[in-house]
Structure 1
């Protein structure tokens, strides 16, 4: 797939099924995430891979979080099963005199986007989700995040169950101004 076609036609798919990327395809996706802009070479992100039995473990964590934080525990425990594979992307900023934390968090966000693009380029699809579980203290604790770390996204990956709808066209004139 040509790079511009990829960028101009990518869209999220909320309904995913097997097969999901594995082996060399999955490694390519992770490598794409590792190639994101990274001022200072700080690698201010890390990934947690979730598939197979890990989906059930994540479901338990989500259920615990919902119960602890007055959420819908029935819905929470089904969320990980929306796709056969999830990569949790964690911003892990480092203290640095010249690279502010916000740049490092944005870099982690770029990793999510790059991985989704790499999946799409290989014939898979995905959706970048956040929501209450991304900000839950219980989820962060259960996943072993350090105090300074945050979840920037749950990247759900797999094969699309439905045909993609027409790509939403936005007029750049509505979003670009000139100085």
Structure 2
């Protein structure tokens, strides 16, 4: 499938996303945890954990793919965001999470993907700063692959997160029109 890329921002439970692939904001072990990670593992069932054990973890900024099992999504891409420290490396690693997830999706012929707000929960990345990095990374990827036909859903945990995504998106779009 080829065609135009597009972005949707919605307040929702990512485990209910009607997409080919959801992205898990995982920890380095890939063996489950709290927040989005725990919710995805619970919804997918025990076979997800079984497959994750075979992956031998994941480095921060990288991404690995598994089946979706009991999820609506056929696949789960697991990526490990940085624990926020304020260092410049944090932004590079967060950008890599989104870029590498999209590259992995493209390599597997996936055309619809849902992302959570990676690193903005217990990893402490400030929401607005993370959102700016996120939306820039995804739009930059879409500029490299303008006809990939990738549908990106930002599945925001709550309205506050969705509001920040919408504000940053509008600012990014307005900046692109100048």
Establish whether TM, by shorter chain, passes 0.5.
no
Q: Provide the TM-score with structure 2 as the length reference.
A: 0.32
Q: Provide the TM-score with structure 1 as the length reference.
A: 0.32
Question: Highest CA radius of gyration, 1 or 2?
Answer: 1
